[in-house]
Structure 1
Amino acid sequence: MSAALSAERIQQILEFDNDQRLRYLVKQVVEHQEVWILCDEHGSVMLNSEDEDCVPVWPNREFAESWCDEEWQDCHPKAIPLKQWMSRWIPGLEEDQLAVAVFPSDQEDGVVLYPEELEYELRQQQKKMR
C-alpha cells in the first residue's frame, strides 16, 4: 500500500504531461503492487475516449478519489492487486475489447493503451526493479 501524498506532491504530479503521467503510473503500480480504479454499484466505471471505450486507472488512491464528484459522486476508489490485474483484468479487458485510460486528468483522457500495451510497460518496469 502506498503512503499518502502531500498536497504539494499531488499538485506537482497533476502538472505532468501524459507521457510523464504514464511513466509515473507504471512506476507506482509496480512499486506498490496495486492499480486504482473507480467502482459503482455496477462495477468498474468506464470512459469514452475518441475511438475507444476505456477503463480509467490511476497510480494512487488520491487521484482516483478526486474523480468521485459530479457524475461519478456515487463511485469509490478500489485497489486491484497487481497480480490480479495482470492475470484477470488484462485478459478480461482484451476479451471485452476495452482499452485503458492511463491516469486521466480533468483536462485529458490520459494515454489510451490497449491492455497488452499496459501489460508490456508494467512487465518492463518489473524487470528494472529486480
Structure 2
Amino acid sequence: MSQPLTKEQIESVDKMRPEERFNFCIKEIAQQRKVWILTDEHGSVMLNTEDEDCVPVWPHQEFALQWATGEWEHCTAESISTAKWFSRWTCGLEDDELAVVVFPNDNEEGMVLYPDEFESELRKRGA
C-alpha cells in the first residue's frame, strides 16, 4: 500500500506545468497500478470540454479529494486497479463515447485522451 502524500508533495505537484502533471500522473498510476476517480450515487463524475464528455482521473486519492468540494462535496474518491481499467473501463468509455481527462488542475485543465490512448500511455510505463 502506498504512503499518503505529504502537504509539500501535493503543493509541489500542484505547481507543475500541464505536461509535467500529465507525465507525473501516468508514471504514478503505472507504478501504483491504481486509477483514482470521483464517484457519487450516479457513478463517476464528469467534466465537459467543448468537444468531449470526460471522466477525470487522478494519480492519488489526495488529488481526487481536492476536487470533492462545492457541487462535488458529496463525492468520494475510488480507486480502480489498472487491470480492471484495462478489462472494463477502456472499452466501456469507448462504447459510451467518453474521453479521459488526465489529472485536471484547479482550472479544470488537463490533457484529454481517448480511452485507448490513455491505456496505451499506461502500458508504455509498465502498468
TM bin, normalised by shorter chain, reads: over 0.9
RMSD: 1.1
After TM superposition, give the deviation of residue 50 of structure 1 in Å: 2.1
Distance in 2 of aligned mates of 1:24 and 1:87: 23
Aligned equivalents of 1:62 and 1:112: distance in 2? Answer: 21
Matches of 1:54 and 1:103, distance apart in 2: 12
Displacement of 1:107 after TM fit? 1.6
Moved more, 103-112 or 83-92: 103-112
- C-alpha contact 1:93 1:115 (8 A) present in aligned 2: yes
Matches within 5 A, 1:39-54: 39-54=39-54
**Partner amino acid for 2:26?**
V
Q: Give 5+ residue unaligned stretches, structure 2.
A: none
User: Would you say 1:105 and 2:95 are equivalent positions?
Assistant: no
Q: Which amino acid aligns with 1:49?
A: T
What is aligned with 1:6?
A: 6
Please list every run of 5 or more consecutive structure 1 residues that lacks an aligned counterpart in the other structure: none
TM-score (norm 2): 0.96
Q: Does 1:56 align with 2:56?
A: yes
May I ask how many residue pairs the two structures share in their alignment? 127
Q: Distance in 1 between matches of 2:81 and 2:50?
A: 29
The share of aligned pairs that are identical, in percent, is 50
1:94–1:115 Cα contact (<8 Å) kept: yes
Tell me the residue number matched to 2:31: 31
* 1:56-109 deviations in Å (ceiling 9; x for gaps): 000000000011110101100000011001110001001111000100011232
Question: What is the CA deviation profile of residues 28-71 of structure 1, one whole-angstrom value per residue up to 9, with x for unaligned ones?
Answer: 11111100000000110100012100000000000000111101
Q: Which amino acid aligns with 2:93?
A: L
Q: 3-state DSSP class of the match of 1:126?
A: coil
Q: Equivalent residue for 1:69? A: 69
